[in-house]
C-alpha cells in the first residue's frame, strides 16, 4: 500500500501537524519522524543515525499493508538541534532526546516510540505499525 509523506521544518511544523491530526481517517497509522536536516554539500543528513535509519523506515513502510501518513519533521542543523531549548526537546508532547525519533501518534498522544538507537531496526518499526 505504501505511505503518504509530508515534510515539515521547525517553521511550518505546527501547521503540518494540525493538518494530519485534523484529516486523520479511521484505520490510518500516523507516524512522526523527527530527523536532522540534510547537509547541502553532501545531500545526506548531518546525523549518522538518521542516514542509517531512514532507508530502513521507508522500506518497511513501503512493504506495510497499513494506510500510513508519515510526517517528516526536520529539526534543523547541528547547532540548532544541540540547543537544550530546541522546541521539540521541550515540547511536552514529544520531549525529544535524540534524532531520529519515530513516533506513532494516535488520539492526540504517543502510542509508540523508537528512539535514535533503535529507529533503524526493521522488526521494531514493523511492531510500531501493528
Residues of the chain with pLDDT under 50: none
CA terminus-to-terminus distance, the chain: 15
From the list 20, 32, 33, 50, the catalytic residue is 50
Q: Give all domains of the chain, ordered by start, each with its CATH number.
A: 3-129 (3.40.30.10)
Residues facing 110 on adjacent strands: 105
State pLDDT tens for residues 79-91.
Answer: 999 999 999 999 9
Give catalytic status of residue 47 as yes or no: yes
Question: Which pLDDT value is given to residue 1?
Answer: 57
Q: Active-site residue 105, yes or no?
A: no
**Range 54-57 contact pairs with CB under 8 angstroms and sequence separation of 24 or more:** 54/100, 56/120, 56/121, 56/122, 56/125, 57/33, 57/100, 57/102, 57/119, 57/120, 57/125
Over the stretch 105-122, which tens digit does the pLDDT of each residue have?
Answer: 999 999 999 999 999 999
Catalytic residue among 35, 47, 73, 99, which? Answer: 47
C-alpha cell at 2: 505504501
Amino acid at each position: 500500500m505504501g505511505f503518504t509523506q509530508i515534510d515539515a521544518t521547525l517553521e511550518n511544523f505546527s501547521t503540518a501537524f494540525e493538518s494530519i491530526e485534523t484529516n486523520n481517517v479511521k484505520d490510518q497509522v500516523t507516524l512522526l519522524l523527527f530527523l536532522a536536516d540534510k547537509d547541502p554539500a553532501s545531500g545526506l543528513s548531518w546525523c549518522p543515525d538518521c542516514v542509517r535509519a531512514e532507508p530502513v523506515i521507508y522500506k518497511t513502510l513501503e512493504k506495510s499493508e497499513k494506510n500510513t501518513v508519515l510526517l517528516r519533521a526536520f529539526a534543523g542543523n547541528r547547532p540548532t538541534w544541540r540547543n537544550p531549548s530546541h522546541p521539540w526537546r521541550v515540547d511536552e508532547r514529544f520531549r525529544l532526546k535524540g534524532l531520529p525519533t519515530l513516533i506513532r501518534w494516535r488520539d492526540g498522544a504517543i502510542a509508540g516510540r523508537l528512539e535514535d538507537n533503535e529507529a533503524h531496526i526493521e522488526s521494531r518499526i514493523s511492531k510500531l505499525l501493528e
